[in-house]
Amino acid sequence: MVDEQQPKLRIRRQGKVNVVELEDRKILEELLIAQLGEQLGSLVDAEAEPRLVLDFKKVEHLSSAALGILITLDKQVKGRRGKLALANIQPQIYEVFKITRLNKLFSIQDTADAAVQALA
């Protein structure tokens, strides 16, 4: 069975940090979100002390289920003594982070480069 709705991720290595660019404009569908969680989880599991930057530059819409995946991912990363940072979050999405106080949980930077620096 071929699933064309795989979340599109571009992963690049910058020093000791994996920078994951989320290519989808909308992260709303449950199946897409579950697959995203699996892909990011396996990226975390592949390293002893994962350092991960999620770049939201292209993301315009994010569901509450996607926020749940981010919280789970944060726990996975911290459980392996790693670090997670988010970057390039659009203002309308950042508002949701503020309302839910997730801006206190996550390291949120303006750019992917700043996020990589924050994890260095």
Q: What is the DSSP letter of 55?
A: E
pTM metric for this prediction? 0.93
Taking each helix axis as running N to C, give the angle between helix 30-45 and helix 64-79, from 0 to 180 degrees, rounded to the nearest 10.
10
Strands 9-14 and 61-62: unpaired
- Ordered structural domains, the chain, with CATH: 9-119 (3.30.750.24)
Long-range pairs for 45-50 at CB < 8 Å and ≥24 separation? 45/76, 45/80, 47/18, 47/80, 47/82, 48/80, 49/80, 49/81, 49/82, 50/18, 50/77, 50/80, 50/82, 50/83, 50/84
Q: What is the pLDDT of residue 120?
A: 85
How many other CB atoms sit within 10 Å of the CB of residue 43? 18
Per-block mean pLDDT, blocks of 10 residues, the chain (120 long): 69 96 94 95 96 97 95 97 98 95 97 96
Rounded Cα distance, 111 and 118, in Å: 11
Q: Distance between CA atoms of 73 and 37, rounded to whole angstroms?
A: 7
